[in-house]
C-alpha cells in the first residue's frame, strides 16, 4: 500500500472534510510511509438541499461514495455512521469505527435561550423526524420548522441571518464541536430525553469487503466501545424496521462494565412516546438491540412504526 497514494472518499462539506482529516491524522501517525489522497464526492443529499430528508431516503449521503468505492475509484470512505443504513451491503465492510465524540444533541438559539425558557411560538429548525418529535414532546410551546443545509449553513440560519425565519435549532454536538462552533450552544440536551440518532458521534471507515489490506491499514482507528454501541443501536434499528421517516432511535452507553441501550419511538408530533432500556454485557451488543426492539414493539411501538 506504500507504492501509490491511498484514496479516501468523503463528502465535500466542511464537516465531512474535517472528519476525514481526524481519521487521517491517526492513520498518518501510525503509517508514516503511506500517502493518503482525499477525494471529495457530491452525493444526492448534497445536490438536493430543499427536499425533506425522509423523502430522499436512507443512504442519500453515502450512495455515490459507495458507488465510487465499488468501482475502486477510492480505497476507503469516511462517513458519519448515522448517515449509513442499518444494514451494510455485502460488498462493503465497516472496517473501523472511531471513538465516539459527544453523542448528544445541542440547542442553539438567538441569545442562547434554553429550551424551557423559549416563548410560545419560538421557531426551531430541524429536518429530523426524531428531533421534531422529541422537541414537541419536551417543549410543546415551540414551533418546529424544516431546515436543510450543512452545519455551518444551519447555524447561520438559526443565529445570524435576521430574516431567516428561525429563532434557533437542534444539531448534533459532535458536528458542532468538530467545526469549533461550541460557543454557539445554548444547551446540551439530555440524551435520556433527546435520545440521539443511531451512531451519532461515531465516524465509520468503509472498505470493500474483500480488501483485507486496506482493512488492516485503517484498523488503527477502531474503538471497541464504539463498535459495541454501534452494534447494539444498529441491530435495534434493523429490528424495528425504522428509517428516515420514523421517529425511532436507540442510544447505547456504558454503565461500568455493562452496556445499556435506551430506545425511543413516537408518533410524528411527540404526543405518544414509547421508551425502554435493556442492559447486558458488551459482547451481547447486537442481541441487546434486538431484545430492546422486541420490548418496544410489544409495548405499543409496532403501531407507531407501521403508521409512520
Query: Confidence band (pLDDT; 50, 70, 90) for 93?
Result: very high
Q: Provide the grid cell at 226.
A: 464504539
**Is-contact 200 83, C-beta < 8 A?**
no
Q: Which domains does the chain have, with CATH numbers?
A: 6-100+202-222 (3.40.190.10), 105-188 (3.40.190.10), 233-307 (3.30.160.40)
Can you give the pLDDT at residue 3? 62
Q: How many angstroms separate the Cα of 134 from the Cα of each of 189, 191, 198, 244, 270?
A: 11, 11, 15, 15, 6
Rounded (5°) CA angle 135-136-138:
65
Provide the 3-class DSSP secondary structure of residue 162.
coil
Query: Confidence band (pLDDT; 50, 70, 90) for 306?
Result: confident
Please confirm, yes or no, whether 83 is among the known catalytic residues: yes
> What average pLDDT does the structure give for the chain?
93
What is the spatial distance between Cα 31 and Cα 118, in angstroms, rounded to a whole number?
A: 50
Outline where DSSP puts E strands in the chain. 6-10, 36-40, 76-80, 92-97, 105-109, 123-125, 143-145, 168-172, 187-188, 203-208, 248-255, 258-266, 273-280
The residues with which 78 forms a beta bridge, in sequence order, are 205
Query: Confidence band (pLDDT; 50, 70, 90) for 243?
Result: low
What is the spatial distance between Cα 204 and Cα 226, in angstroms, rounded to a whole number?
A: 10
Q: What is the pLDDT of residues 252-263, one digit of tens each?
A: 999 999 999 999
pTM of the model: 0.93
How would you label 205-241 residue by residue, b for 16+ Cβ within 10 Å and e otherwise? bbbbeebeebbebbeebbbebbbbbbbbbbbbbbbbe
**HSE value, Cβ hemisphere, 13 Å, CA-based, for 241:** 11
| Residue of 75, 83, 167, 267 marked catalytic | 83
Amino acid at each position: 500500500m506504500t507504492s501509490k497514494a491511498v484514496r479516501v472518499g468523503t463528502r465535500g462539506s466542511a464537516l465531512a472534510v474535517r472528519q476525514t482529516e481526524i481519521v487521517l491524522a491517526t492513520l498518518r501517525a501510525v503509517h508514516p510511509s503511506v500517502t493518503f489522497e482525499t477525494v471529495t464526492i457530491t452525493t444526492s443529499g448534497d445536490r438536493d438541499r430543499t427536499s425533506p430528508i425522509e423523502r430522499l431516503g436512507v443512504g442519500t449521503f453515502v450512495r455515490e461514495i459507495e458507488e465510487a468505492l465499488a468501482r475502486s475509484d477510492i480505497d476507503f470512505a469516511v462517513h458519519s455512521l448515522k448517515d449509513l443504513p442499518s444494514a451494510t451491503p455485502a460488498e462493503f465492510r465497516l472496517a473501523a469505527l472511531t471513538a465516539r465524540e459527544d453523542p448528544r444533541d445541542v440547542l442553539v438559539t438567538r441569545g442562547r435561550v434554553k429550551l424551557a425558557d423559549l416563548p410560545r411560538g419560538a421557531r426551531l429548525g430541524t429536518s429530523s423526524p426524531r428531533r421534531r418529535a422529541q422537541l414537541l414532546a419536551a417543549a410543546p410551546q415551540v414551533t418546529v420548522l424544516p431546515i436543510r443545509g450543512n452545519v455551518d449553513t444551519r447555524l447561520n440560519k438559526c443565529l445570524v441571518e435576521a430574516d431567516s425565519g428561525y429563532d434557533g435549532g437542534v444539531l448534533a454536538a459532535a458536528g458542532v464541536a468538530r467545526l469549533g462552533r461550541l460557543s454557539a450552544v445554548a444547551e446540551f440536551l439530555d440524551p435520556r430525553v433527546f435520545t440521539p440518532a443511531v451512531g451519532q458521534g461515531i465516524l465509520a471507515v468503509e472498505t470493500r469487503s474483500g480488501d483485507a489490506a486496506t482493512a488492516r491499514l485503517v484498523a488503527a482507528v477502531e474503538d471497541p466501545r464504539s463498535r459495541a454501541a454501534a452494534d447494539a443501536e444498529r441491530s435495534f434499528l434493523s429490528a424495528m424496521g425504522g428509517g428516515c421517516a420514523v421517529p425511532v432511535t436507540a442510544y447505547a452507553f456504558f454503565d461500568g462494565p455493562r452496556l445499556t441501550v435506551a430506545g425511543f419511538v413516537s408518533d410524528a408530533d411527540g404526543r405518544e412516546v414509547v421508551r425502554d432500556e435493556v442492559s447486558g454485557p458488551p459482547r451481547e451488543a447486537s442481541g441487546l438491540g434486538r431484545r430492546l426492539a422486541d420490548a418496544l414493539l410489544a409495548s405499543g411501538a409496532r403501531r407507531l412504526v407501521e403508521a409512520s
